[in-house]
Amino acid sequence: MRLQNKVSIITGAGAGIGFSTAVRFAEEGSKLVLVDIDGTHAESAVQAAKKAGAEAVSVAADISKEADARKIAETAELHFGGIDILVNNAANFTTFAVEDATPEHWQTVLGVNVIGTALVAKHAIPSMKKRGRGSIVNLGSMSGIIAQAHMATYNSSKAAIHSMTRCMALDLAPFNIRVNTIAPGCVLTSATEREWIRLGMTREEWITDRAALHMMKRIGDPVEVANAILFLASDEASFITAAHLLVDGGYTGQ
């Protein structure tokens, strides 16, 4: 097992990529602290992880609040004695063009995607330093690399995560803590369901439209991203830090 006895925190674990990552980590032997803003969803992920054979606890938390970010790390310390891996997956999908975005829209998306990511890492890092090792995987996006219509708020936040990852990797390398980014393409999740509803499209129309934009002519499954996260989190990626791994079906390679 690739994560045997490793303690992992996964934010946004209640659905989509986070849920699939929780199950994959459970299958690979990790002990899990599963976080979601919706406590019921977090507990559902815990039950799935336990079914896969893992020890797991849930935390209901809004990562944009420092007290909640601190609570996540404290829960890992209390239940499992430390932290080895952090997957910063939680995200807000507020999408507006610059001319349409209010200060509140910007504060919402940046509060979760950038500040929240930083706060959870801030409180997890001391435990990793004490253990003399660690792996942080931040969820960026192909949207942080390319331009997309009416998505300036979200895309800007993901571009910031890519830059923050490199800075974190440089700061933490002396402590044997690796920091990398996963950048997914279009993946079928509850967030993408909200997108096709917002655009007035059917599920089938959205899938057909988005699939055509990828080299592989399909969209991704959450477990395909979870497998990439697992690789970067594991010791198999022991000489990889400050990297951005695209899991986008070739979207950005065209």
Q: Which helix (H) or strand (E) holds 85?
A: strand 85-88
Q: State whether residue 24 is helix, strand or coil.
A: helix
Range 167-185 average pLDDT = 98
pLDDT at 198: 75
pLDDT at 246: 98
Would the pTM of this model clear 0.75, i.e. be above it?
yes
Could you tell me the strand order of the sheet in which 7-10 lies?
56-60, 31-36, 7-10, 85-88, 134-139, 177-184, 244-247
Active-site annotation, residues = 154
Q: SS3 breakdown of the chain: % helix, strand, coil, rounded to 5?
A: 55, 15, 30
Main-chain dihedrals φ then ψ at residue 177, nearest 5 degrees: -110, 120
Do residues 138 and 242 touch, judged by C-beta distance below 8 A?
no
pLDDT band at 199 (very low <50, low <70, confident <90, very high): confident
Do residues 157 and 88 touch, judged by C-beta distance below 8 A?
no
pLDDT tens track for 200-230: 888 899 899 989 999 999 999 999 999 999 9
pLDDT at 67: 98
pLDDT at 203: 86
Residue 234 CA: distances (Å) to CA of 5, 32, 123, 247 = 12, 14, 21, 17
Q: Is the pLDDT of residue 61 over 80?
A: yes
Q: Is the pLDDT of residue 194 over 80?
A: no
Residue 232 CA: distances (Å) to CA of 3, 100, 136, 187, 245 = 11, 37, 8, 19, 9
Range 79-89 average pLDDT = 98
pLDDT tens track for 106-158: 999 999 999 999 999 999 999 999 999 999 999 999 999 999 999 999 999 99
For 7-253, CATH gives 3.40.50.720
